[in-house]
Amino acid sequence: MTTITTTDTLRLLAWLSPAFPTGGYAWSHGIEWAVETHEIQNGTSLQQWLDAILRHGAGRNDAILLRHADRAAGDLDTLTEITELALATSPSRERRAETIGQGNAFAAAAKPWGHAILTDLAARVGDIPYPVAVGALAGAAGLDEDATCAGTLQAFAANLISAAVRLVPLGQSTGLAVLAALESAIAAVAAETRSATLRDLGGACFLSDIAAMRHETQYTRLFRS
């Protein structure tokens, strides 16, 4: 682990803030379907749902992809391969659209920081998955990999909690209680993925994947996934 400077902290806070224009508020990651079918009804069921996603689903996979993109920030060929793998392993159309939509938006919004890596990668591959975009930029900026990984997982969980607060609906206090309860899962996934290889990508969060697929044909929708 490297020393985290004040500038590093400010950059992470900016890039992972809900105010950073990635459009994350528009995606529910299948939670909208889970609420309609009563899989998520309250803070307890939401916590269980998100804990599973973090440990066994997209949270873990995105952390692995982010870490490898971070380490490959100076190698455009390797970043291209990671990007192609990330897109190939998207389990549904909406999940692919979700990661591409946020990744491309993140790359566009991050231009004021002056790193060319995302521009170069976009020119080569077109669409950039969100964890690859964050990892590549953090690596190019020399930010601490562990802090970036944990921060991204935290932002991912917070965004889905925000969606659930609106959909169930839940109160803000319940949403914050869920976020606090997920700290151990976030820390565990960040630690576990530190030594993970790209061969470790995979998951067992089947109901979440089914939710993403079912959302594509859900009759009434507020969210894009």
The predicted structure's pLDDT at residue 1: 53
pLDDT tens per residue across span 57-70 = 999 999 999 999 99
Task: Please state the pTM of the whole predicted model.
Answer: 0.96
Residue 4 banded pLDDT, cuts 50, 70, 90: confident
CATH of 43-215, one of 2.70.98.90, 3.10.20.30, 2.40.30.10, 1.10.4190.10: 1.10.4190.10
Q: For the chain, give the secondary structure using H, E and C.
A: CCCCCHHHHHHHHHHCCCCCCCCHHHCCCCHHHHHHCCCCCCHHHHHHHHHHHHHHCHHHHHHHHHHHHHHCCCCHHHHHHHHHHHHHCCCCHHHHHHHHHHHHHHHHHCHHHCCCHHHHHHHHHCCCCHHHHHHHHHHHHCCCHHHHHHHHHHHHHHHHHHHHHHHCCCCHHHHHHHHHHCHHHHHHHHHHHHHCCHHHCCCCCHHHHHHHHHHCCCCCCCCCC
What is the pLDDT confidence band of residue 112, given thresholds at 50, 70 and 90? very high
Sequence ranges of the domains in the chain: 43-215
